[in-house]
Structure 1
Amino acid sequence: MAKDFNNPQIVDGYDEHIRKLIPGYELIHLQVHALLKTYVSEQAHILVVGCGTGYELQYLADQFPYWTFTAIDPAVVMLEKAKSHIEDLGLEQRITFIHGDTSILNSLDQPFDAALSILVSHFVPFEYKQQYFQDIAQSLNKNAICLSYDLMQISNHQQLLALKRLTQSIGLSEKQSQAMLDRLGQDFFLIDIPQMCNIYQQAGFKSVTTFTQILNYYGFIAFKN
C-alpha cells in the first residue's frame, strides 16, 4: 500500500523527511525557479499539481510576486496543511486550493501559463499516467511549459544500492533507507525515460527533454502543442 498522505502524522513530518529522502531537494526547486523565470512572463497563472505542505507554493509566491497559483492535491489532509501554511504567511489571496486529482482540471475555465508536477507522477499507476499528463496539457495555454521531476525506473541492484547510500548520506538511517527500497514496488510506478517522453508527447506536449538528473531522479521539461 502506498504511503498515506491523509495520515496527519506523515503529513506533519513530511517537510523534514522529504529532505532526507530526496537527494538535492532544494536544488530541484532552484532549477525549477530558473526555468520558470526564463520561460514564463512576469504576470502568469501557474498550476501546481500535488502541492504537498505548501513549501513549493511559498517559495514560488515569494519569488514571483505578480503570479497567481492554483494548487491541487488528492490528499485533503495535505491540502489543508498547505492552505494553513499559506494563510499564516498572508499569501492566500494569490493561491486557490482545490481538493482532487487532475481530472478536476477539466472543470476549470481559466487556462494556465505553466504547470508543475514535482515528485508526483511516479505515484500515478501505469494505466493512468498518460491521462494524468493529458489532463495537465488540456488545462494549459498553447506553448505553456510543464516541468516534472520523478524517480525513474531502476534497472539493477547497483542503482538501488547507490540510491540507498545517497539517502543515508543526507540523513536517512540504515533502517529507513532499507524501508525505502523495500517499498519502491508498493509506493511507486516507475517507467523509463523513453516511456516518459512518449507519454508526454501522446498527452499533447512537444520538445520533451530532461533538464536534470540525480541518480535515477530526472527532471523533464515540455511545452504544450
Structure 2
Amino acid sequence: MKPNAFGSYASPSYAEGPPRQVPGFASLHRMVSMLLAERVPANGSVLVLGAGGGLELKALADAHAGWSFHGVDPSAAMLGLAQQAVAPHSDRIQLHEGYVDVAPDGPFDGAVSLLTFHFIPREERLGTLRQLRRRLKPGAPLLLAHISFSQSEPERSAWIARHVAWPTAPDADLAQLEAARQAIGTRLSIIAPEEEEAMLREAGFVGVSLFYAALSFRGWVAYAA
C-alpha cells in the first residue's frame, strides 16, 4: 500500500507529497535506478511492490527504455494514479491489485519497494520478503527504502519528532503536529535498522548494504541468494 509518509491515502495531489516529505527523494530514485542497473540487463524485468501512485515506476521506466515492469498495490485508487503517471510506458508496465501474493512468479531480474514496508505489519514482513525472494533470479537485487529508526527510548520519540518536523512549516499548528506524532507512533510499523537487515538475511538475501539514509528514512540493497 502506498499512502504518503504520514499515512494519508490516495488523492490526485499524491505526487506532491513524497518529494516534500522524503529528504533527497529524487536522488533516492536515481540511486535505486543505478543500483538496479548494475545487475538488471537492458531487456530485464523488475517487480515493484507498493507501486501505487507510480512515481518510482515512472522514474525507472523513463531511465531504462528496455525494461519491463510489474507493479503491485492493494489500492485500486492508487493504481489508477499509477496508470496515469506511467501512461507513456503502458506497453511495458502491468499493474496488479493486491499484495505480494498476486505478483507473477517471474523470475524477475530485480525488485523494488519504496516507502511501503513501514505500512506492512511486523509479523507479515518476513513472509513478504520471502515472497519477493522466491520471485527473483539468483543474484537479483532487491531495493528497499522506508522509515526505520531505533525503537528504544528516548531515540524513538526523537526520530518521530524529526520525521514530523522535516516537511512542516514553521508556523504549523501545534495540535496538528502532536496529532501527526501520535499517528506515526501508532499507525506505522517501524522497526530498527539492525532488525531490518537481519530479516533480509533470514529471508534469503545476501550482501545487505545500506545505500541511503536521510533523517528517519533508510534504504538497503540486497541480493537473492
Q: One fold, TM greater than 0.5?
A: yes
Partner Cα separation in structure 1 for residue 57 and residue 30 of structure 2: 13
Q: How does 1:126-205 map to 2 (within 5 A)?
A: 126-154=122-150, 155=152, 156=155, 157-168=157-168, 173-174=172-173, 177-205=177-205
User: What residue in structure 1 maps to residue 93 of structure 2?
Assistant: 95
* Contact kept? 2:147, 2:190, Cα under 8 Å: yes
User: What residue in structure 1 maps to residue 109 of structure 2?
Assistant: 113
Change in 2 beyond 3 A, CA 1:12/1:192: same
Partner Cα separation in structure 1 for residue 191 and residue 94 of structure 2: 31
Q: Where do 5+ consecutive residues of structure 1 fail to align?
A: none
Superposition deviation, residue 185 in structure 1: 2.6
Identity %, equivalent residues: 26
Change in 2 beyond 3 A, CA 1:190/1:93: same
Partner Cα separation in structure 1 for residue 215 and residue 9 of structure 2: 29
Change in 2 beyond 3 A, CA 1:174/1:30: farther
Amino acid at match of 2:211: F
Superposition deviation, residue 158 in structure 1: 3.0
Superposition deviation, residue 211 in structure 1: 0.8
Aligned residues: 216
Q: 2:118 aligns with which of 109, 116, 122?
A: 122
Amino acid at match of 1:140: L
Moved more, 179-188 or 158-167: 158-167
* Contact kept? 1:151, 1:190, Cα under 8 Å: yes
1:52-89 deviations in whole A, cap 9, x for unaligned?
211211111111000000001011110122113323x2
Which aligned runs of 4 or more in structure 1 are off by greater than 6 angstroms? none
1:153-185 deviations in whole A, cap 9, x for unaligned?
34423333333332226x994565544322113
Superposition deviation, residue 110 in structure 1: 2.7
Superposition deviation, residue 36 in structure 1: 1.7
User: What residue in structure 2 maps to residue 10 of structure 1?
Assistant: 10
Superposition deviation, residue 99 in structure 1: 0.7
Partner Cα separation in structure 2 for residue 214 and residue 180 of structure 1: 19
1:121-145 deviations in whole A, cap 9, x for unaligned?
1110011000011111000001100
* Contact kept? 1:167, 1:177, Cα under 8 Å: no
1:79-124 deviations in whole A, cap 9, x for unaligned?
122113323x2x111001111101123xx24310000010111110
Amino acid at match of 1:151: I
Moved more, 38-47 or 64-73: 38-47
Amino acid at match of 1:104: V
Change in 2 beyond 3 A, CA 1:22/1:115: same
More helix by share: 1
* Contact kept? 1:11, 1:53, Cα under 8 Å: no
Matched, 1:218 2:218: yes
Q: Where do 5+ consecutive residues of structure 2 fail to align?
A: none
Change in 2 beyond 3 A, CA 1:215/1:99: same
* Contact kept? 2:149, 2:159, Cα under 8 Å: no
* Contact kept? 2:117, 2:146, Cα under 8 Å: yes
